[in-house]
């Protein structure tokens, strides 16, 4: 019935346009690997974008905990406070350098950058040497060995090819108590999460 099909076409195009816009990466968003992504560095990964601008994109994989200790990554951190602080695999770039995500309230000594509400990032791990910083509390602080990086336009191309979905980030997801279940939860259609638009710039 042509009289019905014609009004539906603009609506369908609008939905496609909105979906494409929603898949734009942004600082504080999460990349969820599609099941078709076979790169072993990123297969079934969830990546928090800690910086996205015209110069490129930087993120950390947040769902790959290890039992590596901080001192095994950075020898100067062999005496950090805590008995069970572990390091997550953050990505294939600079694997011997720690990136730290911290929730609020922040340690006084930290040199940080806000990623989203309740999540701050520091590329300097020196503050971990303070005896008052408890690295055992993974609901407040997580350490990542290495990070992920994309050149300008590279990530947008990968999203267009269907390698990633973009969903809104939150402190609850970043500091999930079940990081090994995070990819499955976010990849599931029943998760209720859809591609998220970038928040208004502050």
Q: Is pLDDT above 70 for 194?
A: no
Q: How far from the centroid of its chain's Cα atoms is residue 92's Cα?
A: 14
Q: How far apart are CA 116 and CA 125, in angstroms?
A: 20
* pTM for the whole structure: 0.81
Q: How do residues 130-185 score in pLDDT, each as one tens digit?
A: 666 666 678 788 999 999 999 999 999 999 999 999 999 999 999 999 999 999 99
Q: Give the pLDDT score at 124.
A: 78
Per the rule left: phi > 0, alpha: psi between -120 and 50, beta: everything else, 118 is: left
Burial classification of residue 170, based on how many CB atoms lie within 10 Å of its CB (0-12 exposed, 13-18 middle, 19 or more buried): middle
> Which domains does the chain possess?
25-190 (3.40.1740.10)
Mean pLDDT (whole number) for 11-19: 42
Better-scored residue on pLDDT, 31 or 8: 31
DSSP codes of every residue in 27-91 = TTEEEEE-TT---TTTTT-EEEEEEEETTEEEEEE-S-EEEE-HHHH-GGGTT-S-SS--EEE--
Q: How do residues 64-106 score in pLDDT, each as one tens digit?
A: 999 888 888 878 777 775 555 689 999 999 998 889 999 876 7
Q: How far from the centroid of its chain's Cα atoms is residue 181's Cα?
A: 15
Lowest mean pLDDT among 2-11, 33-42, 121-130: 2-11
Contact 174, 53 (CB under 8 A): no
pLDDT confidence bin for 202, thresholds 50/70/90: very low
110-136 burial, b at 16+ Cβ within 10 Å, e below that, comes to: bebeebbeebbbbeebebbeeeebebe
Q: Is pLDDT above 60 for 15?
A: no
């Amino acid at each position: 019935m042509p009289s019905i099909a014609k009004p539906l076409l603009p609506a369908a195009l609008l939905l496609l346009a909105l979906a494409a816009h929603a898949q734009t990466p942004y600082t504080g968003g999460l990349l969820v690997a599609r099941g078709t992504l076979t790169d072993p560095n990123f297969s079934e990964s969830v990546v928090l974008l800690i910086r996205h601008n015209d110069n490129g994109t930087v993120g950390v994989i947040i769902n790959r905990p290890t039992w590596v200790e901080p001192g095994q990554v950075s020898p100067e951190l062999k005496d950090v406070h805590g008995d069970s602080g572990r390091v997550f695999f953050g990505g294939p770039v600079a694997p011997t350098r720690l990136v730290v995500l911290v929730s609020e309230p922040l340690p006084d000594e930290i040199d940080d950058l806000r990623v989203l509400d309740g999540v701050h990032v520091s590329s300097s791990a020196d503050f971990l040497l303070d005896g008052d910083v408890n690295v055992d509390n993974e609901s407040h602080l997580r350490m990542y060995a290495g990070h992920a990086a994309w050149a300008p336009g590279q990530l947008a191309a990968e999203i267009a090819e269907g390698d990633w979905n973009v969903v809104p980030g939150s402190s609850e997801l970043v500091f999930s108590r079940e990081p090994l279940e995070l990819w499955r939860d976010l990849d599931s259609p029943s998760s209720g999460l859809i591609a998220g638009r970038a928040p208004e710039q502050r």
